[in-house]
Amino acid sequence: MDWYVSRDGQTVGPMSEEAVRDSINRGHVTVGAHVRDAEGGAWAPIEQSPFGSLLAGGSSKHAPNSGSDAMGQLIVLVPILGAVLTWMRISGMSLLERPGAALQFYSFALVALTAMLVFVDASQLGFGAQRTDGKRDSGPVAWAFATLLLFAVALPWYLTKRAAYGARRHLAGGLLAVVVAGLSFVMLSAHVEAQQDRVRSAFSP
């Protein structure tokens, strides 16, 4: 069986099984690389592949994607923590402090920061690598823009898609992040509108 090998965003192959083993023995392929068979299987960390036993120090017994998993968790936590901090900030503002404008700014900053993290994570995982059929999946830039423009849909989708590149999927966390951020924005908008209505009522004849 032939294999594709991906590391640091670069994909080579198809390579014979012997060629992959030789690359490992020579130190050209090490911990952190991902492999998939040429028949179109999913990407997997090389430590969890049939070649894992060849890696020095028994590394196949250790978690292969602790860095990417930490990044996935960070992508989930940023919208949730950002929503909490935004709530704490906006709920205590008076109308003179323009809470509506501040809410829009904080919401955009939260989404933009999440999109940046998606870009970094997608780059590290090798998104956009050439597939066996000659086509390419969406790359880091495309996923970052999708997250920026279609946050509620793109974020959970991305956190599911990353499993195809050997990283842990965080679909439940992504959905939670979208719900928390979305509800916070809606409730804070309603809070600001209620403040404005009270002021209008106070000055209306």
For the chain, the average pLDDT equals 80
Give pLDDT, residue 133: 42
The closest alpha carbon to 74, from 42, 105, 116, 132, belongs to 116
CA–CA separation, 124 and 140 (whole Å): 9
Residue 178 banded pLDDT, cuts 50, 70, 90: very high
Which tens digits make up the pLDDT trace of 102-148? 889 999 999 999 999 999 998 887 787 644 444 566 889 999 999 99
Which tens digits make up the pLDDT trace of 37-76? 777 777 777 777 777 767 654 443 334 445 567 888 999 9
Sign of dihedral through CA atoms 102, 103, 107, 110? Answer: positive
Give pLDDT, residue 8: 67
pTM of the entire predicted model:
0.65
CA–CA separation, 11 and 18 (whole Å): 17
Give pLDDT, residue 6: 78
Give pLDDT, residue 168: 79
Does pLDDT of 184 surpass 70? yes
Other beta carbons within 10 Å of 3: 23
| Whether the bond into 14 is cis, omega within 30 of 0 | yes
Strand partners, 6: 11, 34
Q: What is the 3-state secondary structure (H, E, C) of 139-194?
A: CHHHHHHHHHHCHHHHHHHHHHHHHHECCCCCHHHHHHHHHHHHHHHHHHHHHHHH
Residue 158 banded pLDDT, cuts 50, 70, 90: very high
